């Protein structure tokens, strides 16, 4: 997928990118590849693949959920900035916070935000479990996103405590989403969420399956969640 195909396929989905925004994606690609030589940010470095498997894949969440308001968005475990930085480029009114447990990724993201000239972005070095208990962040975001971080039963415990009441947790999943969803139903309910919608589609050009799961926050998350670092992954709510 080249930049032209990228813009064309997004246009078919109702997402129109300006030449400035397309320039930001190209700068993002160049910066990612340059920094990837110094630190392991991604295994995907070919231009066509980055545009398809990182940029388009990140923006696919917006095919099923409207990110166009001035929302506060927290991205948990974003790594090299996916999905929240592509979403921020496409929807500049988003106010983005990324939390990641690796400081070197935070260093990269701070540099990236400068070269892309992004405003209203902040990057926090923390574990999601401790971040979710911080009163400044707990239940304070309109939207929380996560892409390929952990199984949904674990992810729900890391993300739902950050979502404000009536806000939404948007999970970007690859294969096995249906099975993960079945396993996570109890955890989602306990944590105050309700599955609002599930949308499965194929990534263009290679036909790999993707699923976007939208979970609405109906009631506050019990205070004991998230549990201490490492616990959600070792013993998911079941």
The per-residue pLDDT for 23 is 97
Exposure pattern of 91-113 as b/e (b: 16+ CB <10 Å)? beebbbbbbbbeeebbebbeebb
147 annotated to a ligand binding site: yes
82 annotated to a ligand binding site: yes
Q: What is the CATH number of the domain that holds 145?
A: 3.40.50.150
4 annotated to a ligand binding site: no
The per-residue pLDDT for 175 is 76
> In sequence order, which residues have a C-beta less than 8 Å from that of residue 111 and are 6 or more positions away?
31, 35
Token pair recorded at residue 167: 């806000």
The per-residue pLDDT for 88 is 98
Q: Domain of 13?
A: 3-234
The per-residue pLDDT for 174 is 87
> In sequence order, which residues have a C-beta less than 8 Å from that of residue 114 and are 6 or more positions away?
none
132 annotated to a ligand binding site: no
The per-residue pLDDT for 103 is 93
CA distances from 143 to 12, 16, 56, 107, 174 (A): 25, 22, 19, 24, 20
The per-residue pLDDT for 69 is 83
pLDDT in tens, the chain (238 residues): 888 999 999 999 999 999 999 999 999 999 999 999 999 898 989 999 999 999 999 999 999 999 998 999 999 988 899 999 999 999 999 999 999 999 999 999 999 999 999 999 999 999 999 999 999 999 999 999 999 778 999 999 999 999 999 999 999 998 788 889 999 999 999 999 999 999 999 989 887 899 999 999 999 999 999 999 999 999 999 8
- pLDDT tens-place string over residues 57-99: 999 999 999 999 899 999 998 889 999 999 999 999 999 999 9
Whether the Cβ atoms of residue 141 and residue 73 lie closer than 8 Å to each other: yes
192 annotated to a ligand binding site: no
Q: How many domains are there within the chain?
A: 1
């Amino acid at each position: 997928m080249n930049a032209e195909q990228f813009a064309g396929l997004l246009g078919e989905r109702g997402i129109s990118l300006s030449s400035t925004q397309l320039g930001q994606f190209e700068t993002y690609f160049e910066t990612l590849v340059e920094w990837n030589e110094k630190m392991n940010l991604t295994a995907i470095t070919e231009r066509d693949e980055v545009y398809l498997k990182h940029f388009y894949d990140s923006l696919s969440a917006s095919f099923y959920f409207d990110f166009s308001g001035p929302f506060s968005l927290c991205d948990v475990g974003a790594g090299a900035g996916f999905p929240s930085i592509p979403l921020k480029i496409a929807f500049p009114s988003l106010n983005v916070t990324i939390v990641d447990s690796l400081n070197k990724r935070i260093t990269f993201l701070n540099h990236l935000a400068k070269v892309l000239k992004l405003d209203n972005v902040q990057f926090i070095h923390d574990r999601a479990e401790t971040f979710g208990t911080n009163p400044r962040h707990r239940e304070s975001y309109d939207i929380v996103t996560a892409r390929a971080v952990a199984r949904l039963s674990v992810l729900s415990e890391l993300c739902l405590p950050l979502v404000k009441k009536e806000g939404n947790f948007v999970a970007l999943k690859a294969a096995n989403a249906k099975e993960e969803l079945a396993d996570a139903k109890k955890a989602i309910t306990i944590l105050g969420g309700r599955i609002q919608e599930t949308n499965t589609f194929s990534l263009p050009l290679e036909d790999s399956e993707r699923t976007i799961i939208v979970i609405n926050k109906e009631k506050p998350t019990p205070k004991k969640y998230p549990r201490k670092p490492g616990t959600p992954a070792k013993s998911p709510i079941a």
